[in-house]
């Protein structure tokens, strides 16, 4: 008899717990969506790519001063230049793949640059 009473107490305890769990608010997971459209992206082109004769031409939609930065694959800035011209003389870059970042008129853009 004691065994049955203990068993009923345990079962009623678990039933009570299950009832309170089902009355709780469900946990809500919101997905964070990455915005892939950047309002500050600048449309521009660089050529020749791969680089030839250490001379790079930059054609952009902006009209202000160009702030040019070139980064190696380790994220280190290897070139920084400010110019109003449409070309850059790039001496001393070792062969490899670089990221070319252009800032102009409050916008920025990024392109890959290959140096053979």
Which pLDDT does position 37 carry in this prediction? 43
Comparing 70 with 34, the larger pLDDT belongs to 70
Which pLDDT does position 55 carry in this prediction? 96
Q: Which CATH architecture has domain 44-115?
A: Sandwich (2.60)
Name the DSSP class of 41: B
pTM, two decimal places: 0.66
Residues 78 and 64 sit within 8 Å (Cβ to Cβ): no
Comparing 1 with 19, the larger pLDDT belongs to 1
Average pLDDT over residues 72-88: 96
Instruction: Indicate the domain borders of the chain.
Output: 44-115
Give the CA radius of gyration of the chain.
31
Which pLDDT band, with edges at 50, 70 and 90, does 62 fall under?
confident
- Which residues, 6 or more positions from 59, have their beta carbon under 8 angstroms from its beta carbon? 44, 45, 46, 47, 86
């Amino acid at each position: 008899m004691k065994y049955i009473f203990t068993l009923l107490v345990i079962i009623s305890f678990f039933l009570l717990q299950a009832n309170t769990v089902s009355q709780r608010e469900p946990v809500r997971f919101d997905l964070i969506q990455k915005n892939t459209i950047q309002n500050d992206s600048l449309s521009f082109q660089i050529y020749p790519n791969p680089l030839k004769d250490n001379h790079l031409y930059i054609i952009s939609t902006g009209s202000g001063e160009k702030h040019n930065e070139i980064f190696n694959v380790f994220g280190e800035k290897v070139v920084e230049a400010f110019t109003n011209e449409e070309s850059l003389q790039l001496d001393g870059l070792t062969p490899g793949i670089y990221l070319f970042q252009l800032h102009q008129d409050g916008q920025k853009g990024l392109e890959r640059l290959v140096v053979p």
